[in-house]
Amino acid sequence: MSRSNIQECERYENLTFRNIFQKDEFGEIKEQKIPSNTNVSRLESLLTDYSVTACNFEYHVISSTDVDSSNIISLYQSESIKELRKNALLTAENDRKMLFNASIKATSQDFYKAVKVEAHCGQKERIGEKGDGGKYVCNPKKVKKDCTLLSLGLNNQIGYDQHIYEATGRQCKILGADLDPQNQQTKDSYAKMNGELFAGRIPSEITIPKMLEKAGRKEVELLKIDIEGGEVTALEPLIKDYFVCQIFIEIHGMPSDHLRMLQIIAKYGFRIFNVDENLLCPMCCEYSMINELCMAQFGVVPLGITIPQQVDVRRNGQSNGN
């Protein structure tokens, strides 16, 4: 495996690797010990021996500074977690078929009910307003030091922004953006958090990568995105080229629009850990998703994959005579 392959996953840069955890289909873990002083060349050799690349999500390579490996092993070996994962895997294929059918024939509300979580977060926290605007975040206290928080879609309502800044220990850089410049009160509140504000239509007037570039940030720990449909074209360029751990997104439109957006996000290794229907907007739903490479950091257990890949959708369409 070449050095460039490791550099494709920025989360692996400048880390001291301790263990490789290999999971079987029921969540059992086999652990390969790696000396704490292992250099990149030796790590490449070890990963090659295990026939994996740095971006292969069936293996969790964990930094000694990120996670207590003993906690991860205990989590995955819990009998209740094993049973939860086993049952999820057994129903995953049927869940994918049901969701695909719901995207064609069901009402929006029935579609939301058909979306099954693909990851178990035992410490979800509601961040922000109680009604519209709040998001479910997984274990926010587990963010890295000096992480980046990105909040897209403000409209001078920054309850989420202030709450997440506090919930992550006031140690992260928060960036906010909206179509229009924010009022003075919002600007003052952001200044107190040492945050930065951007204005412009996303992505036609300003792109998310451009915001990160201007702020001098290279990856995003927590991303909240609610830009009234702009996420369809704005999100993929970010998660394609930048490392993002958690995404909290409100998707608008018909069930087929929701499924299409979820498929795009899933393509880059994200799994749903919470679904929250927006009661004020019948065609809107909030989805919380986590990058598979961040599951160990936030204490998350992978379940069955329930978002059908686009090839599965085409196959099902043909079988249905479409």
Higher pLDDT, 8 or 116: 116
- Per-residue pLDDT, 172: 97
pTM beyond 0.85: the answer is: no
CA angle, residues 146, 118, 234, in degrees to nearest 5: 55
Is pLDDT above 90 for 254?
yes
Enumerate domains of the chain plus CATH numbers. Answer: 71-302 (3.40.50.150)
Tell me the pLDDT band of 206, cut-offs 50, 70 and 90: very high
State yes or no: pLDDT of 106 exceeds 60.
yes
Mean pLDDT value across residues 14-31: 42
Q: Which residue has the higher pLDDT, 60 or 264?
A: 264
Angle at 275 between CA 164 and CA 97, to 5 degrees: 150
Binned at pLDDT 50, 70 and 90, residue 186 comes out as: very high
Provide, rounded to the nearest whole percent, the portion of the chain with pLDDT above 70: 74
Residue 199 pLDDT exceeds 70: yes
DSSP 29-57: EEEEE--TT--HHHHHHHHHHTT--TT-T
DSSP 3-state of 291: strand
Compute the average pLDDT of residues 211-221: 96
- Is the pLDDT at 102 greater than 60? The verdict is yes
Average pLDDT across the chain, whole number: 81
Q: What pLDDT, on a 0 to 100 scale, did the predictor assign at position 39?
A: 44
Alpha-carbon span 274 to 126, nearest angstrom: 11
Residues paired with 138 in a beta bridge? 124
Burial (Cβ within 10 Å: 0-12, 13-18, ≥19) of residue 57: middle
Amino acid at 169: G
Give the pLDDT of residue 99: 97
What is the model's pLDDT at position 67? 57
